[in-house]
Amino acid sequence: MKDIRTYLSGPLDEVTSLMAASLRTNISLLGKTNGGLLGERGKMMRPILCLLAAGALGKINSDTVHYAAASELLHNATLLHDDVVDGASVRRGKPTVGAILGPRASVLVGDFWLVKAVSCIQETSDKGSKVMSIFSKTLSDLTEGEMLQMEKAFGHDTTQEDYIRIIYCKTASLFESAAVSGALSVGASKDQVDAMGCFARNLGIAFQIKDDILDYLPSDALGKPSGIDLLEQKITQPLLSVLEVLSEEDSAAVRESIGRIPSEPEIAVSLREKVVEAGGVEKAAAVMDSYIENALLCLEGVPESKEKSYLARLARYVGERDF
């Protein structure tokens, strides 16, 4: 990631400058909050994906920078909303906006960032006519994914198919939008746009599986305690990988026990330990690796370039990262 950031330092600086300019306001509290959030940026995966996709198929331009900024603004808007939904008090090791100013402020700031993402798209050479529908679909996906996850947490009946749909909607959809918009910004052909969409879709699914694996490990490097998913009654890949080899009766018993976690949180601790002991982490990693390999296969039709090699390295980084 360090090499990629160095290679893209110029365009990434343009993206961050555009984000800062887009978020300017004469409301002191909002401006201070925006500044704090900008100073705590995460991995910038989505803008990097957008820029690399564009560079692999053409020359990064102003439209690319606007779409990259929009992808990160939208991503952070969803995090601000997610923190309210999840009641989260910590994000990236720092107190959330909701913890400092309350959930109402977090929703309002998230709305502000969302509107500014739309503005960035509209400021492109064709006023975003090609890309607006793509990002609109992503917003729909994000909502549907969150609601499906909530529904399945209530019922404790998440299947493998449900899980992949949830993580596509909540994570991979925005990866896909970032890459596709980057490809479109340089006038790529339909086949090339499809290839980038395929790459990003598989990469996004792998990225979320890795996050879900990390939640089963004794680490708080994500900026939040591990073991949260089970406490929230979320059935993710490590547990699914164990459930699929259990008898129907044992699987039903595990799912029933998940329903008792709100009143008996110790069940989550015990179940997490059993999943690790049963090899759930390793099995989940194998599923993740299959999506990384699929992502790399999607790049086969893309012309050789420095950017293409960095896309491949990005895919490998997703599998190897420990935070």
AA identity, residue 230: L
Binned at pLDDT 50, 70 and 90, residue 234 comes out as very high
HSE, CB side, 13 Å, CA atoms: give it for residue 239. 28
Q: How far apart are CA 132 and CA 74, in angstroms?
A: 12
Q: Is it the case that residue 221 has pLDDT exceeding 60?
A: no
CATH architecture of 2-320: Orthogonal Bundle (1.10)
173-197: per-residue pLDDT in tens?
999 999 999 999 999 999 999 999 9
Question: Each residue of 71-110: pLDDT tens digit?
Answer: 999 999 999 999 998 888 888 778 999 999 999 999 999 9
Q: How many residues does the chain have?
A: 323
> How do beta strands 94-95 and 90-91 pair?
antiparallel
The pTM (predicted TM-score) of the whole model is 0.95
pLDDT for res 223: 52
Q: How far is 302 from 323, CA to CA, in rounded Å?
A: 29
Distance (Å, whole) CA 291 – CA 49: 17
